[in-house]
Amino acid sequence: MNPMLNIAIRAARKAGNIIAKSYENRADIETQVKGNYDYVTNVDKAAEATIIETIRASYPDHSIITEESGVLDGNDRDTQWVIDPLDGTTNFIKGFPQFAVSIAIRVKGRTEVGVVYDPIKNELFTAVRGEGAKLNDIRLRIANRRDIKGTVLATGFPFKQPKLMPVQMAMMNALITDVADFRRAGSAALDLCYTAAGRVDGFFEMGLKPWDCAAGELMVREAGGLVCDFNAGHNYLKDGHIIAAHPRVVKEILNKIQPCLGNVFKN
């Protein structure tokens, strides 16, 4: 096993244990407001601390980028661990069992390893660049759709940026003439993993951060899918606007949504 993958799995499972125990003992959850409908709990912070401690024990020189602590520079800035200790915090607070730990390892600007762990379902999604993606020990292949008709697409609402909601509604309105349904479950990391696993046929969302999607996008690519931004480029980790699906489905999603964008996301 890739040694960094092994440490990422260990860190994700340790964090997942903290999250699962806290989920069962909800009276101990403490919630703070970070921003517009943006929350953090004592569990996010505890899970993040455990992940950082596990990484530092094996790779003390690596840099770490986390949702809660920001950038923790190491002597090796070429290797970055991109962490979301609890993707789907709002779901966790509400007791809705759809959230995960997300860990990606990027080397010289390229994602090499991805781990997403759902502690409630005990589902471990892993990917290594060039070696494929797995759910536990099962190899993942993206749904082989010939076109967009009848697909089920996952998405997320840009609730932290309300000004983008009209664009979101316009995109969904344009897509609904062909797709069968939408899923909006509240965890981008799991939405991407579910796309890689064929549980949904594709995913699109605006306003994401690198820690939301860095691990999941590798899952999709290693499962045979295509990931791009709204301009069919590769800036999704930078601008936060992402599409992931089978290449033919991505092309049709782009054709449907680009007229809805106006000048908002044009290069």
At a CB cut-off of 8 Å and minimum separation 6, what does 219 contact?
114, 116, 125, 127, 133, 140, 192, 193, 195, 196
Checking 63-68 for CB contacts under 8 A at 24+ apart, the result is 65/210, 65/211, 66/211, 67/209, 67/211, 68/40, 68/44
Confidence band of 267 (pLDDT split at 50, 70, 90): very low
Average pLDDT, the chain: 94
List, for residues 218-264, the tens digit of each pLDDT value. Answer: 999 999 999 999 999 999 999 999 999 999 999 999 999 999 997 65
List, for residues 6-57, the tens digit of each pLDDT value. Answer: 999 999 999 999 999 999 988 889 988 876 667 888 999 999 999 999 999 9
CA distances from 242 to 188, 234, 253 (A): 10, 9, 11
Residue range(s) occupied by CATH 3.40.190.80 in the chain: 152-260
List, for residues 172-222, the tens digit of each pLDDT value. Answer: 999 999 999 999 999 999 999 999 999 999 999 999 999 999 999 999 999
Binding residues: 67, 84, 86-87, 212
List, for residues 83-97, the tens digit of each pLDDT value. Answer: 999 999 999 999 999
Binding residues for Mg(2+): 67, 84, 86-87, 212
Residue range(s) occupied by CATH 3.30.540.10 in the chain: 3-139
Q: Which fold has domain 152-260?
A: D-Maltodextrin-Binding Protein; domain 2 (3.40.190)
Architecture per CATH, 3-139: 2-Layer Sandwich (3.30)
| CB-side neighbour CA atoms (13 Å) of 20 | 14
Burial 156-165 (b: 16+ CB within 10 A, else e): bbbeeeeebe
